[in-house]
Amino acid sequence: MAKKKTPIMVTITEGRHATQPWTFSIDDVGPGPKVTVRERYTRMSSCKVGALRKLRATKGILIAGIYMHTSRWFVKDREVLFTVKATKKAKA
């Protein structure tokens, strides 16, 4: 039986900036530190797209010489998983 490979974790975080609150960090496989990007995004969806572009992710996987299109995102043969850390802003 084949081992399941560890996925790449992308954490999308909401900050306190008014116009561009969203940033992301990538926790790749291995003991190295997380990669944090200094770019900020206005929407969570555009932040997700920026992370996928940084990773050069695709929506398919190559298995035994055959490219299979899937609904999940992959970098080479590792799946990309997203977590969101959003903070609710207190209204003054």
Over residues 39-89, the pLDDT tens digits come to 999 999 999 999 999 999 888 777 777 777 778 888 888 889 999 998 765
Task: Answer yes or no: is pLDDT of 23 > 70.
Answer: yes
Residue 3 lies in a domain: no
What number of other Cβ atoms are within 10 A of residue 9's Cβ? 15
Residue 92 lies in a domain: no
Residue 14 lies in a domain: yes
Looking at the DSSP bridge assignments, the partners of residue 26 are 10, 35
Residue 91 lies in a domain: no
φ, ψ of residue 28 to 5 degrees: the values are: -80, 175
Residue 2 lies in a domain: no
Residue 53 lies in a domain: yes
Q: What domain count does the chain have?
A: 1
Residue 41 lies in a domain: yes
Residue numbers of the domain that contains 36:
8-85
What number of other Cβ atoms are within 10 A of residue 31's Cβ? 4
